[in-house]
Structure 1
């Protein structure tokens, strides 16, 4: 059988056979030897960039290092300069894989991976999706993603969809009339899995619930749903599993790196320790023990074209106490460091705290489809929401009381009913945003 997806990677110059062979050898390393593997790859990639990358050498201030923690923590702002100035010796824009981050953190930049590094990224995807019986060559994907609207970008993505054996549902229009068309496509197609942005897939599940439809009953080939790019709350996961009738898997990744964590069949959010090294740091860049929350800082162990060494991805989370070098487990992912609300008292609260508290109250009757929260002043927050009918005063009061109880009193909330919510150019929904 002709494997179109594998062929598309091969003609793009990605050495998949070599990458998959090395990935398999990494998986075979015994747990007792794994700390040595990680340490050797850390040393190798750091020495490579100090010797071959003038941007990274200048950032560090030296061409050598003694301790890993002596190396600088790389921020997104450090990378907001021409890509050509950040590439290692021997690598160019033409002989690497070049892409742009989504900008969901507020600091977009262009990055590069060498072809071999990107091939290992794909090997990582193949392996983890394989846990659920998904083969990119043969499994048909229902894809809930944004798409460029200009003609060249649009047709380029459509070609990639064809090569990737997937059908894309653009998520800029999520009206009931559009979701009816989505439902009809599921009736007439043999999709194997769903993949895409959390908020869009959750909205589709709510649409199914309003019509008392279980998706697997009308599309029996469905095996699993993978959600990515946005927070998945436990009650939303239960909704998806109920309305889709299939397991729901939570994915955490970054285009400039790889899959960072992927929910394994045991329900654990397993960190990718084959191609990445993940640290949790405090505000002074000191590593924190397992179980403590801090900044997620990641090293790409294979990317020689561009340094991602001790790279602060902009998220806050913690590793589980049961973690090992070979099998680190992401205990929780709280949100982005720039999504923290600073309250009048000086207290700092992750913005998703507001979202979580509010969500539990105003969505309980199925009236509210989606909502986002914006901090416009230290004591003033706006809640934009999409609903069938306007929120009742009782719901508004309950929301205000809950936030006073869990956070602090004296905060003002302005509720704005909207026909639709603003999404990024790629279709992501930013659930909390501080405008301060």
Structure 2
């Protein structure tokens, strides 16, 4: 670690957080101790925090004060984490309907946030200093797992209009001091990609951070044009906000000559989990309780696929309790080789809308269709849209070596094998496939509920 990085990590960033009245430094130090607790000790810590959190929420948040009264729920009576399931699940529609009553009556300095709205309708919510401190601390801890720290040169390849619109003068000064370089990657034309590559070469970052689709796209463009990026000294590429596919990981690791560290979370649900160098996807268990539920909302055991539901214990100013993320995943009951007692997510399989439904009702992961297109020569980019049980549309950006008759026969035949012989498969050719409004790219979008 360089002297300047040490100065940033020990002085500049802590001063920045103190001025903002954030307890980030203490929280991170505590987390770096508690991560080594064993699984039972962590569950006891969660139970203690959960009881205090729910009692606080009952006293200060009108929505939950009414809910607990109506259901007879008593936070003081909780003696195990499984009793959390006695509370109803929290959907985005419920937050929209009760936005004012979701705020604590003694909350100070709440900041208004919203999700990018990949479901079509952005969610407005609020975050207080406690929540910010804990989420930043959790990300900071995970960053340090990889031998890098705040103050090391970082290239942030991002495409969300929300972050890009927030680059005021103070943030720009902070980023300059901390050597964080924001590269707006909402547009991915060949000319823009050339510019991104030149910026990365100039910065020579120790770490990359961004959407996996954006980093993989830059890596593919560099490889296609014979541009070497394996000599920059990059130590790790952090990816988040989208599902990380194996082919993306392989491309990023090959071109940038560094490991890829997957992170999972969001503006709404918080910093949920992060991968360690030994491969474990560790849940931020000091702050986050993760449940996996089926379509009826019943809690599933480890090893079974269901929707990821999150309770964030540092959200007392605007609580997220049993919040439905819309993402699908599997909990693991294994212990990671790194020795941390933090529980593990075995798989994160994307949003519920990343799954498709066959004509006979069989639910398939989008990968069942993605691999058909990935193996075709001349397909530069694609998107699959399941409009209904009877119709699926494929958008394709072609290259010169694309053979339409062969490709179309393959796509229609393979898709019908998976979705049903009677399903209409439409193929549309385009010069460009737009990202979502959030800046993310999604290979599969289904309008059919699994």
Shift in CA distance, 272/15, structure 1 to aligned 2, threshold 3 Å: closer
Q: What's the secondary structure of 2:247's corresponding residue?
A: helix
- The normalised TM-score by structure 1 is 0.89
**2:44 equivalent to 1:64:** no
Q: Is the 8 A contact 1:319 1:331 kept in 2?
A: yes
Of the candidates 307, 310, 313, which is equivalent to residue 319 of structure 2? 307
SS at match of 2:218: helix
In the alignment, does 2:34 pair up with 1:48?
no
Question: Which residue is equivalent to 1:86?
Answer: 102
Q: 2:343 aligns with which of 328, 331, 334?
A: 328
Structure 2: how far apart are the matches of 1:239 and 1:26?
35
In structure 2, distance between residues paired with 1:143 and 1:43: 38
Whether the 8 Å contact between 1:354 and 1:373 is mirrored in structure 2 is no
SS at match of 1:297: strand
Counterpart of 1:120 (choices 134, 145, 161) is 134
Instruction: Check if 1:232 corresponds to 2:244.
Output: yes
- Alpha-carbon distance between aligned partners in 1 of 2:12 and 2:332, rounded to the nearest angstrom: 39
Q: Take 2:32 and 2:85, find their aligned partners in 1: how far apart are those partners? A: 29
Contact kept? 2:57, 2:64, Cα under 8 Å: yes
The answer (yes or no) to whether the contact 1:280–1:297 under 8 Å persists in 2 is yes
Report the counterpart of residue 200 of structure 1 in structure 2. Answer: 214
Query: Is the contact between residue 61 and residue 101 of structure 2 (CA under 8 Å) also seen in structure 1?
Result: no
Q: 2:284 aligns with which of 272, 277, 285?
A: 272
- Distance 1:250-1:24 versus aligned 2 partners, 3 A rule: closer
Structure 1 Cα separation of the partners of residues 424 and 332 of structure 2: 36
- What is the aligned-residue RMSD (CA, Å)? 2.6
Matched, 1:141 2:150: no
Relative to 1, partners in 2 of residues 1:429 and 1:304: Cα closer, same or farther, differing over 3 Å?
A: same
For residues 302-361 of structure 1, what are the alpha-carbon distances to aligned partners after superposition, in whole Å with 9 as ceiling and x for unaligned? 2210111111111111112425994322121222124443333233334x2354333432
User: Using the alignment, how far apart are the partners of 1:131 and 1:22 within structure 2?
Assistant: 15
**Deviating more after overlay: 418-427 vs 285-294:** 418-427
Q: Is the 8 A contact 1:105 1:314 kept in 2?
A: no
CA distance in 2, matches of 1:195, 1:175: 20
CA offsets, 1:252-309, max 9 Å, x none?
Answer: 1111233212111111222221211111112232221110111111111122101111
Q: Which whole-Å deviations, capped at 9, do the CAs of 1:172-207 have from their partners, x for residues lacking one?
A: 221111111122222322211111111111111110
Unaligned runs of 5+ in 1: none
